Amino acid sequence: MRNAVERGFGQFCPVALASEVLTQRWTLLVVRELLAGSTHFNDIRRGVPRISATLLKERLETLEHAEIVERRQTDGGAYEYVLTKAGEELKPVVTSIGEWGQRWARDIQPEDLDPGWLVWNVHRRLNAVQMPVGRTVIQIEFTDGPRDARYFWLLCNDGRVEVCLKDPGYTVDLRVRTTVRVLAETWRGLRSVNHELRCGSIDLDGNAMLRRAFPNWLLLSVYAPIARRR
User: Does one domain contain both 122 and 94?
Assistant: no
* C-alpha span between 150 and 50 (Å, rounded): 18
Q: Which residue among 45, 72, 104 closes a domain?
A: 104
Cβ-contact 229, 103 below 8 angstroms: yes
User: Does one domain contain both 152 and 213?
Assistant: yes
Q: Which residue among 104, 122, 145 closes a domain?
A: 104
User: Does one domain contain both 69 and 122?
Assistant: no
In a domain, 227, yes or no: no
Cβ-contact 128, 161 below 8 angstroms: yes
Q: What is the pLDDT along the chain (230 residues), one digit of tens a residue?
A: 444 445 689 999 999 999 999 999 999 999 999 999 999 999 999 999 999 999 999 999 999 999 999 999 988 888 999 999 999 999 999 999 999 999 999 999 999 999 999 999 999 999 988 999 999 999 999 999 999 999 999 999 988 999 999 999 999 999 999 999 999 999 999 999 999 999 999 999 999 999 999 999 999 999 999 999 98
Of 90, 109, 110, 107, whose CA–CA distance to 32 is shortest? 90
Expressed as residue numbers, the domain containing 44 is: 4-104
In a domain, 77, yes or no: yes
Position 77 scores a pLDDT of: 85
**CATH at residue 143:** 3.30.1050.10
Q: Which residue among 68, 87, 104 closes a domain?
A: 104
User: Does one domain contain both 158 and 196?
Assistant: yes
Beta bridge partners of 69: 83
User: Does one domain contain both 100 and 125?
Assistant: no
Position 3 scores a pLDDT of: 46
- CA angle, 14 then 19 then 21, to 5°: 115
User: Does one domain contain both 156 and 194?
Assistant: yes
Q: Provide the number of structural domains found in the chain.
A: 2
Count the helices and strands in the chain (H runs, E runs).
Answer: 11, 7
Position 31 scores a pLDDT of: 98
